[in-house]
Structure 1
Amino acid sequence: MNDTISLLMNHRSVRKYTNQPVSQEQLETIVQAGQMASSSSNVQAYTVIAVTDSELKNKLSECAGNQAYIQECPVFLVWCADLSRLKKAAETHQPDATSYEGAVENFVVATVDVALASQNAAIAAESMDLGIVYIGGIRNQIETVAELLGLPDYVYPVFGMCVGYPDPNHGAGLRPRLPKEAVLHMNGYNAEQNERGVAAYDETSVRYITERTNGQRTSSWSEQMADKVTTPSRLLLRAFLESKGLNKE
């Protein structure tokens, strides 16, 4: 196992940080590492907003369900899918042509681009002994977040990312993942293999969550996922995306 694999295999979400600042040089290096991720057709359809202002972090924390670590981390990155540059390119170079920057395909491309770039950035941060945690909660009040950050049409906030030096007592442990047989299928999808993997993971996840919560929670992974998928969540997202000109055709 080389150093890169070791770093990847030891990823954990960090939700408690020291007061040590993240330097501007570190921040720029992290984002530049993100930019080196693969991008479909080189569209690079994302923008990263680094939030260091305490008042703005507090407001974003409120939007995300009052997650305190957004307030406490030195830098909060908001990763945005951004197709506004494509819109501008079409207007500049082909002003008489119909453009499709808001089409579902481009929406998917931009969202995937954000995910690839942010994960590169996360690994870069961890290589500097920093910790991160992704924050999907910024989509709870996505319209307010967009207003706070001044996002134009064809741009939407996909998720946030806390960045900072982990507190020695942050307590984050390695969360077990689905077994390889559930995820890695050879030459075609294998439903039976998937079911076996999930069954094995349910046993592992029960042990993990029972130990982590001192017996306060004992539900399996599939039980947790059943609760998640049967509970309405962020149902206003589609209307917001359409209001930004996205996900239309």
Structure 2
Amino acid sequence: MNQTIETILNHVSVRSFTEQALTEEQIKQLVTAAQAASSASFQQAYSIIGVTDPDLKQKIAEHAGNQPFITEGGHFFVFCADVNRHKQLAEDLNMDISETIEGIDAALVGTIDATLAAQNLVIAAESMGLGVCYIGGVRDGIIKISELLDIPEYVFPVFGLVVGYPNERNDSKPRIPFEGIYHTNRYNSNTKEILKQYDETTKLYYENRSGRKSSRTWSETAIGSFARLPRSFMKGFLNGKGWAKR
């Protein structure tokens, strides 16, 4: 066990931040760490938007599930899949890459690149004693939020990320046991008993954690999220922005 692994294993989502702002140097360090992440074919098919305007942050928060900590002292990043620059570069080179960038794989590449970069930033932030919270709710309001951020064609917000000084921390959540995640040579479909036991573990966690207590299991939480947030508008939105047409 080394310090890097300890930092990763101690990860929690922070949902309460102090008013202390990140410095410009910290922001630059975090974004530089994000850029060091792996990228498919070195496409670097993502962009990061830092939202500092309080009114703009408030409007985004309203469309992203009214999560109040978005507007607190933390710095708010929006990670976007982005092949707009590739389209422009191709035009300068008199090349037609429309079949590629309008394909479903380009959307996957942009999403993966943005996610890898974000996780690098998260690990860097937590190594600095900062707290973080991903904001998937950005996709709930992706149409309005894209308008607020002047998102062009061939770009879309994947998620937001708040980074700041923690006011309080949740307890670390227990993860699915190793045997339920790691499969050897072939996919193992026989994990129901593992998940059943895991539900008992998470039920105890939610009932006894130091933050907001509740009576629920992981399966109820996870499946409830799928049922509650179908985001059926996403395909139409992506198609309208030039993505996933093929």
Computed over aligned residues only, the root mean square deviation of the Cα atoms, in angstroms, reads 1.8
Other-structure match for 1:114: 114
Q: Distance in 1 between matches of 2:129 and 2:241?
A: 37
Flag structure 1 segments of 5+ consecutive residues without an equivalent: none
Change (3 A) 1:95 1:209: same
Q: Distance in 1 between matches of 2:91 and 2:211?
A: 59
Aligned 1:40-59 pairs, distance under 5 A? 40-59=40-59
From 221, 230, 235, the equivalent of 2:232 is 235
The 8 Å contact of residues 90 and 99 in structure 1, kept in 2 or not, is answered as no
Q: Distance in 1 between matches of 2:97 and 2:117?
A: 30
Aligned residues: 246
Aligned 1:205-244 pairs, distance under 5 A? 205-212=202-209, 217-244=214-241
Change (3 A) 1:42 1:204: same
Q: Distance in 2 between matches of 1:215 and 1:165?
A: 20
For normalisation by structure 2, the TM-score amounts to: 0.94
Letter aligned with residue 159 of structure 2: F
Letter aligned with residue 242 of structure 1: N
Other-structure match for 1:178: 176
Other-structure match for 2:38: 38
Change (3 A) 1:88 1:226: same
Q: Distance in 1 between matches of 2:108 and 2:211?
A: 40
Change (3 A) 1:188 1:7: same
Other-structure match for 1:68: 68
Change (3 A) 1:191 1:93: same
Other-structure match for 2:134: 134
Other-structure match for 1:246: 243
Change (3 A) 1:99 1:90: farther
Other-structure match for 1:190: 188
Q: Distance in 2 between matches of 1:4 and 1:175?
A: 19
Letter aligned with residue 16 of structure 1: S
Change (3 A) 1:23 1:98: closer
Q: Could you report, residue by residue, the CA deviation over 1:2-57 in whole angstroms, capped at 9, with x for unpaired residues? A: 00000000001111111222011110110110111110000000000001111111
Other-structure match for 1:22: 22
For normalisation by structure 1, the TM-score amounts to: 0.93
Structure 1 residue 129: Cα displacement: 1.0
The 8 Å contact of residues 46 and 81 in structure 1, kept in 2 or not, is answered as yes
Letter aligned with residue 178 of structure 1: I
The 8 Å contact of residues 46 and 110 in structure 1, kept in 2 or not, is answered as yes
Q: Distance in 1 between matches of 2:121 and 2:215?
A: 34
The 8 Å contact of residues 87 and 99 in structure 1, kept in 2 or not, is answered as no
Structure 1 residue 152: Cα displacement: 0.4
SS at match of 2:77: strand
Q: Could you report, residue by residue, the CA deviation over 1:121-177 in whole angstroms, capped at 9, with x for unpaired residues? A: 01111111111100011111111100111110000000000111111xx14110111
Structure 1 residue 216: Cα displacement: 6.3
SS at match of 2:101: coil
Other-structure match for 1:77: 77
Change (3 A) 1:42 1:213: same
Q: Could you report, residue by residue, the CA deviation over 1:89-126 in whole angstroms, capped at 9, with x for unpaired residues? A: 22121345654212101110110001100000011111
Identity %: 43
Structure 1 residue 75: Cα displacement: 1.1
Letter aligned with residue 183 of structure 2: H
